[in-house]
Amino acid sequence: MLLVLKVSLAIFIAANLFEMGLRLNLHYAIKGLNNFRFVAYTFLWGFVLSPAIAYGITLIIPLEYPYAMGLILLGMSPCAPFLPMLLRDKGDVGYTAAFMLMASTGTVIFMPLVVPVMVKGLSVSVWDISKPMLTIIMIPLVSGMMTLYYSKSRAVFIQPMVKKLTIVFAITTVGLSAVVFGEGLLNITGYHVFGALVIFFLTLTTCAYWFGLGLEHDQKIVLSTGTTTRNLGAAVTPLFSVPDIDERTLIILVLAAPVMIVFALVSARIFERANKLAAVQ
């Protein structure tokens, strides 16, 4: 059953990233990429502060090591592929595209180099991590982007079909996860795991917004929501190279999904409302 789950998860990740690429317009991304401050904040939060915060939480909260490993992997994987859906009518489209492009590219380069250093219990080589990152994440993403770049009509035509495929395998993956990890989720003792996730996401969403100094509101919303959402597929991908991974590492990643979505949706709405009130005053 675990093997079937891995296959379903791999297809879901690849289809999700391909669909993301089909919507990732490079012309829009140029706008955000031309803003040096936004680019600097994106890489700072994506690949310095987020992993550091996750690692710091594991030092403060007494998590069992498999849970701590999952949280650190979560900290290395910024930006969920469904970010545009969460930012509909809120953030700047160009900055959203730029954030997604930088986060995806940075993750593929960053994780193989840093995971063996930060995650001590994950005894895999740089190449072992790079292979699934390239095949499951980078190749589908670039393929989607190239399809959109060379033929927008073709991208528009196949995008709904890829989205349906993604939804099918998302449901399949969730169902299989419930079967495989259901008992493990029910057996989580104490509030340490849930508390660690709440602190992690609360810190990211508030600090990324309020310390986005020099950015306009619609740019700060992109930075905050993009930083809050995590690419769970990327977080799981390094584990494909581990034959006997402790299921608790996967369980905290499964538990992170609803917590992440709640924080991303609620915080974006709160910041939007606060900005409107400030504008009126």
DSSP result, 252-271: HHHHHHHHHHHHHHHHHHHH
Q: What is the dihedral of CA 47, 48, 54, 60, to 10 degrees?
A: 170
Q: Which residues contact 245 (CB under 8 A, 6 or more apart)?
A: 239
pLDDT at 130 (0 to 100):
76
Q: State whether the Cα torsion 241-55-199-185 is positive or negative.
A: positive
- pLDDT at residue 226, rounded to an integer: 93
Residue 215, φ and ψ in degrees, nearest 5:
-100, 150
Q: Burial-class residue 185 by CB neighbours within 10 Å (0-12, 13-18, 19+).
A: middle
The average confidence (pLDDT) of the chain is 85
**Which one has a higher pLDDT value, 138 or 184?**
138
Rounded to an integer, the average pLDDT of 266-274 is 86
Rounded to whole angstroms, how far apart are CA atoms 11 and 221? Answer: 30
Between CA 82 and CA 80 the distance in angstroms is 5
Question: Is residue 55's pLDDT more than 90?
Answer: yes
In the structure, what pLDDT confidence band is assigned to residue 187 with cuts at 50, 70 and 90?
low
- pLDDT for 170 equals 82
Q: Which of 51-60, 117-126, 225-234, 264-273 has the lowest mean pLDDT?
A: 117-126
% of the chain residues with pLDDT over 70: 90
pLDDT exceeds cutoff 70 at 189: no
User: How is residue 230 annotated by DSSP?
Assistant: B
How many other CB atoms are there within 10 angstroms of residue 150's CB atom? Answer: 9
Which of the four pLDDT bands, split at 50, 70 and 90, describes residue 14?
A: confident
The H-assigned helical ranges of 63-214 are 65-75, 83-86, 93-118, 126-132, 139-150, 152-186, 192-210
pLDDT at 199 over 70: yes
pLDDT of residue 1 exceeding 70: no
Average of per-residue pLDDT across 196-217: 94
Average the pLDDT over 220-231 and give the result.
93
- DSSP letter at 138 equals I
In whole angstroms, give the CA distance from residue 230 to residue 187.
Answer: 24
- Give me the pLDDT at residue 87, please: 81
Q: Tell me what the mean pLDDT of segment 199-220 comes to.
A: 94
